[in-house]
């Protein structure tokens, strides 16, 4: 079902005209109300009236996560504090938190965008949505919550944690849709299994997963184990929260961006140059309608590409390729670029391994080292030691062959890697601490 036929199926010419009007409007607003942007635009000699066509977006300065930190907490807000009805914040493991504020209209738009997303994923009014994204300062929980209500579904605000209780309520309430990170979906599956609950016997039919990059192999794993359709949702708190883009259940090839609210570009993350349509690079987003904290050309650090070809589902909005890596997630091991998602793909294509893994990067005698710890399943674990060693060697060989880096593989017993209630911690980089 298409929730907002007018905006989701708008002819592209009309959509782009709408984007241009909104771009001109947002540039004027930040120039007027946000000293940070006024200064940046003045430095470039750009005035709001210089934005005459969509491609003029390249005249505008980028915004980085660090800019939000530097103006902590409310320095980039474009309206007075009295007009902000909600705050969210992302913690970040290093440095100051980033804080975002929403006006009443922002909250309303966000709810509608998430409702569109849920509908694109195959949910409808009357569905029972088990929302296991964290509630609180993190945007995941409340973002999905308002969208689910807007759609007319019944939302269970279970939030993160308390996994055994989650499994019980999932069964007792008869949820039909589950929303959580992909790694948590598998964690919940295991917990349920231990309690004698088989997901395949439950009425859950759709999983909507985001907040961390995941691969096609991970999707297959989730779909097979849980017996559901697993859909990728994209968002980030600086831009809005969940609901910036989503895959349509019909095609599942690329995530439709809510283009009437966001202008997306792909740039070369080294040079900052805008890339041509279809080229792969860093996703950059300008918010077109946001009032609380509008951002110009926000650098997401997520690697993707855009496809504006019409989709079989009927939507005309551009699709972004699913994000499998971030430009700052990229590991450089002895000069070779490696994305964790590439290693994940290799692991999941190997019989007997589970999707629970960790990458430990270290440095010995000034040389980078990479250790891949991965859990095996029960059947493999009870196998002979020499077979386990053979499996380790095989994985090391595949990583060397496909990625060009030397890694040490260490198989770990089932449940040997700590489970996360939210985003999985996949990378432990110890190089900084050993300098």
Closest CA to 338 of 353, 326, 323: 326
Among 222, 226, 288, 313, binds Zn ion (CB under 5 A): 313
How many chain residues touch Zn ion (CB under 5 A)? Answer: 5
Q: Is 360 in the site for Zn ion (CB under 5 A)?
A: no
Least separation in angstroms between residue 304's CB and Zn ion is: 16
Least separation in angstroms between residue 395's CB and Zn ion is: 36
Q: Which parts of 293-360 fold into alpha helices (H)? A: 340-348
**With respect to Zn ion, which residue has the nearer C-beta, 2 or 360?**
2
Least separation in angstroms between residue 321's CB and Zn ion is: 13
CA distance 320 to 318: 7
**With respect to Zn ion, which residue has the nearer C-beta, 37 or 262?**
262
Please, what's the largest Cα pairwise distance for the chain? 72
**With respect to Zn ion, which residue has the nearer C-beta, 244 or 395?**
244
Binding part of the chain for Zn ion, among 137-145, 222-230, 309-317, 356-364 by CB under 5 A, reads 309-317
Q: Is 330 in the site for Zn ion (CB under 5 A)?
A: no
**With respect to Zn ion, which residue has the nearer C-beta, 228 or 313?**
313
Asked if 91 contacts 100 with a C-beta cutoff of 8 angstroms, the reply is: no
Least separation in angstroms between residue 317's CB and Zn ion is: 8
Binding part of the chain for Zn ion, among 12-20, 138-146, 304-312, 382-390 by CB under 5 A, reads 304-312
Least separation in angstroms between residue 253's CB and Zn ion is: 8
**With respect to Zn ion, which residue has the nearer C-beta, 312 or 386?**
312
CA distance 349 to 95: 37
Residues contacting residue 266 through CB under 8 Å, at least 6 positions apart: 274, 275, 279, 280, 281, 282, 283, 284, 304, 305, 306
Query: Cβ atoms within 10 A of the Cβ of 173, count?
Result: 14
268: Cα within 13 Å, side-chain hemisphere: 7
CA distance 219 to 235: 18
Which DSSP string corresponds to 34-55?
-HHHHHHHHHHT--GGG--SGG
Least separation in angstroms between residue 116's CB and Zn ion is: 12
CA distance 70 to 134: 26
**With respect to Zn ion, which residue has the nearer C-beta, 140 or 210?**
210
Residues found in the chain:
435
Q: Is 311 in the site for Zn ion (CB under 5 A)?
A: yes
**With respect to Zn ion, which residue has the nearer C-beta, 251 or 275?**
251
Least separation in angstroms between residue 120's CB and Zn ion is: 7
**With respect to Zn ion, which residue has the nearer C-beta, 59 or 251?**
251
Least separation in angstroms between residue 247's CB and Zn ion is: 7
Asked if 204 contacts 167 with a C-beta cutoff of 8 angstroms, the reply is: no
Backbone angles phi, psi at 366, to 5 degrees: 65, 10
Site string for Zn ion, 233-272 (x = CB under 5 A): ---------------x--x---------------------
CA distance 305 to 264: 10
Tell me which residues touch Zn ion (CB under 5 A): 248, 251, 311, 313, 315
């Amino acid at each position: 079902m298409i929730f907002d036929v007018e905006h989701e199926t708008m002819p592209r010419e009309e959509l782009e005209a709408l984007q241009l009007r909104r771009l001109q409007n947002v540039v004027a607003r930040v120039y007027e109300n946000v000293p940070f942007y006024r200064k940046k635009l003045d430095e470039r000699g750009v005035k709001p009236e210089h934005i005459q066509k969509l491609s003029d977006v390249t005249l505008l300065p980028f915004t980085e996560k660090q800019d939000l930190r530097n103006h902590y907490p409310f320095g980039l807000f474009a309206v007075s504090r009295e007009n902000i009805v909600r705050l969210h914040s992302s913690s970040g493991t290093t440095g100051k938190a980033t804080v975002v504020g929403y006006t009443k209209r922002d909250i309303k738009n966000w709810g509608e965008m998430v409702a569109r997303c849920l509908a694109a994923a195959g949910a409808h009014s009357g569905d029972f949505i088990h929302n296991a994204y964290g509630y609180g300062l993190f945007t995941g929980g409340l973002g999905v919550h308002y969208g689910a209500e807007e759609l007319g579904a019944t939302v269970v605000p279970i939030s993160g944690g308390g996994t055994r209780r989650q499994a019980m309520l999932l069964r007792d309430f008869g949820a039909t849709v589950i929303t959580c990170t992909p790694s948590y979906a598998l964690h919940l599956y295991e917990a349920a299994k231990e309690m004698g609950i088989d997901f395949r016997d439950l009425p859950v039919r759709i999983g909507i997963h985001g907040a961390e990059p995941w691969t096609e192999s991970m999707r297959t794993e989730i779909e097979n184990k849980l017996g559901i359709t697993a859909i990728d949702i994209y968002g980030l708190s600086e831009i809005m929260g969940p609901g910036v883009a989503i895959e349509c259940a019909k095609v599942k090839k690329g995530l439709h961006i809510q283009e009437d609210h966001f202008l997306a570009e792909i740039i070369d993350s080294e040079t900052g140059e805008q890339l041509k349509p279809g080229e792969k690079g860093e996703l950059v987003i300008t918010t077109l309608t946001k009032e609380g904290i509008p951002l110009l050309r926000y650098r997401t650090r997520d690697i993707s590409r855009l496809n504006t070809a019409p989709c079989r589902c009927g939507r005309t909005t551009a699709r972004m390729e699913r994000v499998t890596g971030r430009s700052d997630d990229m590991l450089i091991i002895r000069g070779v670029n490696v994305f964790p998602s590439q290693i994940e793909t290799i692991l999941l294509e190997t019989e007997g391994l589970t999707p629970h893994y960790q990458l430990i990067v270290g440095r010995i005698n000034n040389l980078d080292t990479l250790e891949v710890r991965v859990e095996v399943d029960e059947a493999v674990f009870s196998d002979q030691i020499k077979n386990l060693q053979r499996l380790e060697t095989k994985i090391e060989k595949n990583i060397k062959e496909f990625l060009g880096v030397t890694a040490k593989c260490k198989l770990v017993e089932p449940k040997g890697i700590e489970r996360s209630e939210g985003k999985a911690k996949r990378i432990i980089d110890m190089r900084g601490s050993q300098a």
